[in-house]
Chains A and B, each alone.
Chain A
Amino acid sequence: MTEPPKEPIKYFGTTVCLPYYYVAGDYKARYLRALKDKKILGSKCSKTGKVLVPPLVNSPESFAPATEFVEVADRGVITTFCIVNIPVIGRNLEIPYVAASVALDGADLSIFALIHECKLEEVRMGMRVEAVWKPDGEREGSYEDILYFRPTGEPDAPQESYIHRL
């Protein structure tokens, strides 16, 4: 730049580019590796026996350690959901999509998951769903190993069973 700008500078753009190398932690790593074998793991609170999915080092409810790992089912119930219509920078999910809170059978916490293979209007609280996994040989031990959840066709779970298990 050899000459001063004609107009006073109002804005300048700065791209912030920071690399981060995150540690998954042993618990998360074990959970992710198990996905390769189509297993979903939780950790059990040593005090209350409640199963936390994904596994947590301690139960925040009891403040006791949760050291025992247990397997939960890869199916469960939609406790609540929303239909997303907004794109986010850096993501290539096709909108609209359904993001749902799914309480897997055997788990005392819900996970957030994509719902596919059904019409948007058909998604409802209480709907029974099952995981659709990446085919054998393609799973790598990452959260992408579960492609999405789809309805199982089972009868809906009664409201009392999920309304307070969001």
Chain B
Amino acid sequence: MTTLRNVAIVGFAQLPTVARDLHRTSTEMLYPVVRQALAECGVERDAIDYQIAGSVDYMDGRPFGFVAALDAMGSWPPRQDLHLEMDAAFCAYYAWLRMQAGDCDTALVVGHGKTSEGDPNRVFNLQLDPYYQAVIGLDPTSTAALQASAYMARTGATDRDLAVVAARNRTAGARNPQNQVREAVNTEDLLRTPWAVEPLRAGYLPPIGESATCMILAAQGKAEKLCDHPIWIHGVDHRAELQTLGARDLSRSASARLAGEKACAMAGLRNASDVDVAELHAVTPVEELILCEALGLSPKGSRPAINPSGGTLCGNPIMSTGLIRMGEVFRQLSGRADGGAGARRGLAHAAQGHCLQQNIVWILGSERRWA
């Protein structure tokens, strides 16, 4: 494996995820988190070389919705900039790549969007191909349910197995002030929640919520000046699969598996399970189980600790959810989170598209990867 440039997460700020922020627009929510992340690093906006944002027009309910974010990110004087129509975790990837190319040393990565303004179940129907899949009215809960059925049929997993995963996330989530859902709930109570789309119960799905996030990345040489305890990127890879639901084995995530393998290889890690903590962008318990299988993690969730933040179930601010998984690992490894003492390596995962169609896996650590 070639020697790459050591790049670290040096700052992360988010608004606590809420059902609907009645006081601020999407970009007005972004301004305070950008200020906060910069303040944490003790610098002004001018100190950051590059900026990149993640958001989606259809979630914003307006074309060119991301343009307004420029004003909230400190884009004056003009900045080197990019916007991806993707979760901000993929923006972090591109910022990391730019650093590998030597084109910047520091980067501001943001995610924004107000999930509450639209109806995600209707909006995300449009994410499917317009000829065969969108037209039959599939919404993301239904496609997730299709995946759940396929997984349960293959593995024999039961409704109770899903409830156990959800209960674990809810218990952990109760300790995290950033979450929208902060009450623990036990397996039995979850099993009593009504079906959303069978075999997924309402209790297995996150509520609609929104946030704004900002992460600062910095290369070796700069990172140490911005943060006492930078968390270094050891490996990263992302892959996308065919969308067509019938064209892939929905009970597995081949792209998550491959991304995990490649990320571990870059990190010099034999098994993903060698990390201490893993944050998975799993919108349903089935996604979490599929990801565990793909990445080789024990679904019990204790070694490594899976979703100590409470995971996506406790807060799913779409477009930021993936970046928050990275941010939570950053918190865990740098001692900023409740618990997690002694954690030295972590895995952060983010996903996009129906049924884990596109996945990115990060391996992060307290020490630098390359000499």
Contact = CB atoms under 8 A, between A and B. Distances in A.
Interface string B107-125: 0000000101111001100
A56 B61 CA distance: 21
Interface in A1-17: 14, 16
Interface string B79-102: 000000000000000000000000
Contacts of A18: 58, 61, 118-119, 122-123, 126
A58 B116 CA distance: 23
B70 A23 contact: no
Given A16-B126, A23-B20, A23-B21, A63 B74 contact: yes
A57 B74 CA distance: 12
Max chain B Cβ within 10 angstroms of own Cβ: one of A21, A28, A58, A61: A58
A60 to B, nearest CB: 4
Nearest to A52: B71
B71 A58 contact: yes
B62 to A, nearest CB: 8
Given A18-B118, A23-B117, 14 more contacts: A16-B126, A18-B122, A19-B118, A21-B116, A23-B21, A23-B22, A23-B23, A23-B24, A24-B25, A25-B28, A27-B28, A60-B72, A61-B76, A63-B44
A22 B76 contact: no
A143 to B, nearest CB: 15
A66 B22 CA distance: 19
A23 B18 CA distance: 14
A100 to B, nearest CB: 22
Contacts of A20: 61, 117-118
A27 B123 CA distance: 28
A1 to B, nearest CB: 14
Interface string A51-65: 000001110110101
A8 to B, nearest CB: 14
Majority SS at the chain A contact face: loop
Given A18-B122, A24-B25, A56 B71 contact: yes
A26 interface: yes
Indicate the size class of the contact surface on chain B: 20 to 34
A60 B23 contact: no
A60 B118 CA distance: 27
Interface string B1-35: 00000000000000000001111110010010000
B25 A63 contact: no
Given A20-B61, A58-B72, A60-B74, A25 B25 contact: yes
Contacts of A65: 31
Contact of A58 (B21, B31, B58, B123): B31
Contacts of B221: none
A139 B128 CA distance: 44
B119 A19 contact: yes
Nearest to A21: B117
B45 interface: yes
Nearest to A20: B61
Instruction: Select the residue from A23, A24, A57 with max chain B CB neighbours within 10 A.
Output: A23
5 contacts: A22-B61, A23-B20, A23-B114, A25-B28, A26-B23
B130 interface: yes
A63 B123 contact: no
Nearest to A60: B71
A153 to B, nearest CB: 36
6 closest A-B pairs by CB: A20-B61, A60-B71, A63-B74, A25-B25, A57-B28, A26-B23
B75 interface: yes
Interface in A129-158: none
A63 B76 contact: yes
B157 interface: no
Nearest to A25: B25
A25 B24 contact: yes
Interface string A70-106: 0000000000000000000000000000000000000
B135 interface: yes
